[in-house]
Structure 1
Amino acid sequence: MGSLPASGSSSRSFQQRVFSLLQRCNSLNILLQIHTQLILNSLSYKNNFIFKLLSLYVSYGHLHHAHTLFSTLHKPTTPLWNQIIRAHARTPAAPFKSVECYNRMVASGSEPDGFTYSFLLSACARGGLVWEGEQVHCKVLVKGYCYNLFVETSLVNFYAVCGGVGKARYVFDEMNQRSVASWNSMLAGYVRCGDFDGARRVFDEMPCRNVVSWTTMVAGCARGGKCKQALSLFGEMSRAGVELDQVALVAALTACAELGDLKLGRWIHWYVEQRFVVRNNEQPSLRLSNALIHMYASCGIIDDAYRVFMNMPRKSTVSWTSIIMAFAKQGLGKEALDLFKAMLSDSVGVNEIRPDEVTFIGVLCACSHAGFVDEGRQIFASMKHTWGIHPRIEHYGCMVDLLSRAGFLDEAQGLIKIMPLKPNDVLWGALLGGCRIHKNSELASGVANKVVAELNVNQAAGYLVLLSNIYAFAKRWQDVVAVRQKMIEMGVKKPPGRSVVQINGVLHNFMAGDVTHKHSYYIYETLHGITKQANWEDYEPDITEVLVDA
């Protein structure tokens, strides 16, 4: 774009051309070129251009350029102040600076408007500035903006995030009219505080829903552990003809992973392939690909998880960690360790990829299941010395499990004694598991007594059962009876075993000892038949594992 003289009709033509370019601008580089031309043609002082430039710089997230431009203004107008307040409100690191800008704006004599208060409330919500947000609410009431739909919606959102859903509901109920954004803010408030019944009521009352409404419910239920509800809503969303966005797809995949719903997970994968790869010739987002890896891994389909991983054009730390964890959970320790080595040699330093705390949990877990004791020791030591990561209780748990499984019970116990964190029941349980494998009933007795003394009744049940089995291995029958008697005195009972099986797309839940299942008669009849066949084939069950399980 060449420089044009800023005079007469040619100036008007140039201004129209530049404004048209600003309207179509879609990148920072083009914006900088347009800004340069405005400066060269002495047009950078015009408010209509300044406003558009500021707005675009803010939209692109380039606060430095916005600030530089704003600092050249002698007496900014209210719309220009609004843009710089909005810029800080969108910045996660410094939303409080919106409040500072507002104070400077008022001190300069500029009059705030509805947009000012809306942007300011957004900043307070993002930064958790409760007192400041309440002060803005007071200003809104004094200045008469309490019936401005944009401002009221921002108030609902602010209170839903910072002040509690009750205050948000009060503002919401006082509104004369509500937009979809108002309803969505109220909906998000209920989801955020875990009140899914309240969220469902708001959702059902909504006169009009958009993709944000559906996504808020699906993602909220998935994050809140209500995976069946999440998938039910996801199905409703699809049947309602709402286009499934990436947030909803990731949430649904998370729920599929939790429930083991492979059929729906595969359908979502097909949908992703059709929508992104076939229709738009583009790859799914990192988050979506990572969710697919997690879903397949949780359903035990490791080959498909690895295929998704290998087809990703760009990988993140989460991608590497997810596939390492996938192999580790399937007991494929060598493959998980090889992937970790590939991550270190091929990807560290690329796209800021480096192993994090979760990566090391996966690798140490893989070492434990594969019996790679020396590798596990080296990796555990490298966490702090090479990567500057201080081991958490989970990492110590993996190491204790690794050492205990391999028979290094004294080393495992020594690690528990010297660790800077208070050991939890998981660590003691790992050590007890090692005692069972290696038939060390003496150490097990001391560990179990310590664990049971520290845990509540419900937590202690599993460890007492494990101790009883260890005594049974050692044929210490009197101790077995003593543990069972202790369980009776404490009123504890081991939680029944559970399993979930998917048949023809339907998930079936089974619980040991359950007689409430509608097909329980046929289930127990089949179990009796299997037991009978096992007896005919001279199968001898290992009864030491079930002495006190029932």
Structure 2
Amino acid sequence: MQPSRIPRGRTALVRAVTGSRGCHREEQALHCLACKLGLASDVVLATALLVRYGKRGLPTPAQRLFDEMPHRDGVAFNAMLAALAASGKTADARRLFDRMPEHDRTPASWNTVLTCYCRARDLASAREVFEACLSARMSSVVSWNAMIDGYCKAGRMDAAQELFGRMDSWLRDVVTWNTMMAGYLHRGDPAATITMFRQLTQQQDQQTPRPTAVTMATVVTACTQVGDFALGRAVHVSIRKLRMRTDAVLSNALMDMYFKCGSVDHALEVFGTMPGTPNLFCWNTVIAGLGRNGQGKDAVRTFRDMIETSKKRSDVKPDAVTFVALLSACSHSGLVAEGRELFAEMLPVHGVAPGAEHYGCMVDLLCRAGLLGEAVQLVRTMPVRPNAKVLGCLLLHARSSGEDGVRVSEWAAKRIAELDRRDGVAYGLSNMYASLQRWDHVEEHRGELVNAAAVAMRKEPGRTSYDQLIEEPPPNRSILDLVV
């Protein structure tokens, strides 16, 4: 190639590399082309390839390219450092950082190593790098936020608060505040999240950052958890006054709050005014919220609307959580026919295999409707062994079914005890016996729970009580026959 054409070819190739959105083979092809054109030693082009390999999570070709570079500047070192950090190669990243010339170390270099340690949950090493970064006068708000985030994700809010207190007020940005608020929320301290929010909003300094949608979503979730719906509504009013864009996360937090405080209309208003198309998370919140508020038919109707929407866009498909919410809504509203239909559609129509949670919802639905026999039959057809929740549901509802219910409860309690003799659900049978004033049965049952493990060991090898239950019964057998 003529020397005069090298700069033009170099520029085009750099643009091709930086604009690459294809697969790994495309980057390899561009790399090979650079070698053929005699541009492989060009530091700008090689660095662009390093960045692409790093974003693809391909540290091996990146390392090979880096080792072959005849000249490396600070940008190349940082690109290779980022590639190693993105792949979780913490030790390699630290060794490369230590090899870097002092004049090539930038705040980005320090932050990359710091973040890498935080992701690896090696907070001791991360703190060592952080303090060294401060001493080298290379720190920035990114450094502080990375270290605080590492402590928050590890649940060490005392250490995070200590760093937060050390920061100059002018240095804290909205990411700092959001990180602290989310940290307290994830640790199970929503009250502290609300306190942090009040501190942020009550400051009148012009340098105080303005809350974002993430801030609002976090505090609304905290309000929901502590039941401070008045503050949650006030936050929603502030969102409207600020004309803040309500993304899917914030909209979902608001809907969840309104549903849990019984304001169904407000929740549906938020849902109806969402910008763009709701994602599955939002649809699930609406379905669950309607069911929780006794509007099972509306929940089913919403599900059908979601399916129709997905047919047009093909980007929203129901998952296991959707059907738990649906079947639970049917159960609380007594929609037996709708529940049966939805349960039957799960796998063949929507490709969602029913799990123990779905069987538990169906058992609850059938038992609430007084269909104890059908509930027992459903348990018999489960492809997996019923867990304590499913059996506990039978045990709970069988109390009001007379002698049939007693027999079902006895069978369910024994199966629960076989699963775990310490499970408190199995003691529900004692309450049934007590309500019927069968005090001798109460003492006998509690003794059986203590000895359940030893009894299970004496069963025929390879044959459990569940195996006996799922055998196909002769026609016209009663509920009593199904559980003996």
Instruction: Classify the TM-score, shorter chain.
Output: 0.7 to 0.9
Any residues of structure 2 matched to 1:62-211 within 5 Å, and which? 73=34, 74=37, 75=39, 77-90=42-55, 94-95=56-57, 97-111=58-72, 113-127=73-87, 129-130=88-89, 133-145=90-102, 148-175=106-133, 176=135, 177=137, 178-207=139-168, 208-211=171-174
TM-score, normalisation: structure 1 = 0.69
TM-score (norm: length of structure 2): 0.77
Structure 1 pair 85–395 and aligned structure 2 pair: CA distance change class (3 A): farther
* Cα distance change of structure 1 residues 125 and 371 upon mapping to structure 2, 3 Å threshold: farther
- RMSD of aligned Cα (Å): 3.4
Which residue among 304, 310, 316 is the counterpart of 2:266? 304
1:260 CA drift (Å): 2.1
Partner of 2:286 in structure 1?
323
Name the CA distance, whole Å, in 2 between partners of 1:413 and 1:49.
70
> How far apart in 1 are the matches of 2:290 and 2:262?
9
- Partner of residue 302, structure 2: 339
Instruction: Provide the secondary structure at the position in 1 that maps to 2:352.
Output: coil
> C-alpha offsets along residues 181-205 of structure 1, whole Å, 9 cap, x if unaligned?
1111111111222222222222222
1:246 aligns with 2:217: no
Aligned-partner Cα distance in 2 for 1:235–1:475: 56
What is the CA distance between 1:88 and its match in structure 2?
4.5
Tell me if 1:273 matches 2:233.
Answer: no
Distance (Å, rounded) in 2 between the aligned partners of 1:144 and 1:216: 33
Q: Which moved more, 1:113-122 or 1:193-202?
A: 113-122
Residues 77 and 100 of structure 2 are in contact (CA less than 8 Å); yes or no, is this contact kept in structure 1?
A: no
Q: Relative to 1, partners in 2 of residues 1:160 and 1:435: Cα closer, same or farther, differing over 3 Å?
A: same
SS in 2 for 1:431: helix
Residues 62 and 191 of structure 1: is their aligned pair in 2 closer, same or farther, counting only changes over 3 Å? farther
Contact 1:125/1:162 (CA < 8 Å) preserved in 2? no
1:352-391 correspondence runs (5 A): 352-391=315-354
Task: Tell me, in whole angstroms, the C-alpha distance in 2 between the residues paired with 1:50 and 1:366.
Answer: 58
Q: Distance in 2 between matches of 1:262 and 1:342?
A: 29
- In 2, Cα distance between equivalents of 1:122 and 1:290: 34
Show CA shifts across 1:291-316 (max 9, x none): 21112112222111111112224222
CA, structure 1 residues 419+485, in 2 after alignment: closer, same or farther (shift >3 Å)? closer
Partner of 1:263: 230
Measured at CA, do residues 268 and 84 of structure 1 come closer, stay the same or move farther in structure 2, by a change above 3 Å?
farther
Check 1:84–1:391 CA distance in 2 against 1; reply closer, same or farther (3 A cut).
farther
| Displacement of 1:408 | 3.0
Q: Distance in 2 between matches of 1:43 and 1:244?
A: 50
Consecutive unaligned residues of structure 1, counting only runs of 5 or more, are 1-41, 278-282, 489-550
Which of 166, 178, 185 lines up with 1:215 in the alignment? 178
- Say if 1:99 and 1:120, in contact at 8 Å, map to a contact too: no
Residue identity opposite 1:86 in structure 2: V
CA distance in 1, matches of 2:235, 2:9: 51
Distance change >3 Å, CA 284–CA 377, structure 1 → 2: same
| Letter of the structure 2 residue corresponding to residue 203 of structure 1 | F
Residue 237 of structure 2 aligns with an amino acid whose one-letter code is W
Task: State the one-letter code of the partner of 2:299.
Answer: A
Q: For residues 203-235 of structure 1, what are the alpha-carbon distances to aligned partners after superposition, in whole Å with 9 as ceiling and x for unaligned?
A: 222233211111111122223322222222222
Identity among equivalent pairs (%): 29
Contact 1:435/1:470 (8 A) holds in 2: no
Equivalent positions of 1:353-432 (< 5 A) are: 353-432=316-395
For each residue in 1:83-112, what CA deviation from the matched residue of structure 2 results, as whole angstroms up to 9, or x when unmatched? 44334544xxx32x254234224324342x
Question: How many aligned positions are there?
Answer: 429
Deviation at 1:352, TM superposition (A): 0.5
Deviation at 1:327, TM superposition (A): 0.5
Q: Is the 8 A contact 2:66 2:80 kept in 1?
A: no
